[in-house]
Chains A and B, each alone.
Chain A
């Protein structure tokens, strides 16, 4: 933007002249402004009080409910005690507890447990230990029946 060079005196004269123009005051109402400001601050004041009042009411309600619940519970417990004194409960029948310990069978000498115990007791003898003979797996007593196939004649089964 170009800044025209104006002589300082001209500028001051012009500024003085322009500053002498008085902005219009028509339509400006200080009383209306003060009324609006007062109303706004009053509304704000009410809103400021709303939260403390609400939280106070909630705290009071929580306290009353707590006291009521405590008294109710103590009355109930007293009633239960009175009923128990009037009608005592029959003692529970003496049922023998199931024996949870099962009779143990001695583990097979080739089982992992036996081998582990032997190694723990005599680790030095482990290398000289005779290798037990490998037993052939037991065959089932009765062979499985062959599955009939559609393409095989029945006499071959």
Chain B
């Protein structure tokens, strides 16, 4: 089977690169280079992987973990970990994007990783479990625990915006 067509590759990139970069940012700041590298490797796969999306997440995760091991990246990550820059373009009407990113960044990595892969990556738990190296039940538990944490923080964070009554 030939490698993926450039049009397919471009469509996949436009569709999944933002979530993939958000996933990569759990370990490394930036993350654009990791996502691009993952897609370049995907273009070289002949035949392409059967499950493209889990494959991309695995490559991004491996690249991020490998990059994290180098001292330069670690220093950079530590420097920037306190301020998750522009993880989201927009949150919702009750929360701005910066605050949403901060809430997510405060979660433990093992919870955050599963939440990002499930909510924004669209992976199933059966795909997330081998990706993060745990059982299916553990992946589901982490997801629920992460959601509960986020809910708690959102409730503490959220203050209703009362719009003035229109006369």
A residues within 8 Å of B by Cβ? 1-4, 6, 10-11, 14-15, 17-28, 30, 32-34, 36-38, 40-41, 44
Contact = CB atoms under 8 A, between A and B. Distances in A.
Interface residues of B, number: 41
A155 B13 CA distance: 121
Interface stretch (B48-56, B69-77, B88-96, B123-131): B88-96
B89 A25 contact: yes
Contacts of B9: 33-34, 37
User: Which residue, of A3, A20, A24, A36, has the highest number of chain B Cβ atoms within 10 A?
Assistant: A24
A17 B17 CA distance: 21
A109 B44 CA distance: 96
A6 B89 contact: no
Contact of A37 (B35, B40, B115): B40
Interface of B: 3, 6, 9-10, 13-14, 17-19, 21-22, 30, 32, 35-36, 39-40, 42-44, 86-92, 97, 100, 115, 119-120, 141-142, 144-145, 147-148, 150-151, 154
Contact of A32 (B19, B36, B86, B148): B36
B151 A14 contact: yes
Contacts, number: 109
A31 B143 CA distance: 34
**What 10 A-B pairs come out closest when comparing CB atoms?**
A37-B43, A23-B18, A4-B148, A23-B22, A24-B89, A24-B86, A22-B89, A37-B40, A21-B91, A30-B13
